[in-house]
Amino acid sequence: MTVKELIGLLNQIENKDLPIRVLEDNPNNPDFNITNYWLGGIEVADTGMSGYENSGEVILIGKE
C-alpha cells in the first residue's frame, strides 16, 4: 500500500476521531489478533537515507 492509497482510504472514513487499531496479519500465530496494538506514531525513511538507498518507506508504529 502506498501513502496515496492509505490517504484515500482514510478520507472515506466519516468519523475522523476514531483511534487506529493495528492487527497482526498472521493466522499461523496462536495469539493472532489477541493483543490490541494502537497506532502510536509514524516514521518516514526517505529514499537515499542509509539503509533506504533505493526506496524509502513510511513506518507505522504500534503500541499496546
Domain segments of the chain as ranges: 17-63
Contacts of 54 (CB under 8 A, 6+ apart): 47
Give the pLDDT of residue 17. Answer: 95
The beta-strand segments (E) located in the chain are 21-22, 37-45, 57-63
- In this prediction, residues 14-32 reach a mean pLDDT of 86
Give the pLDDT of residue 6. Answer: 94
Position 1: which residue type?
Answer: M
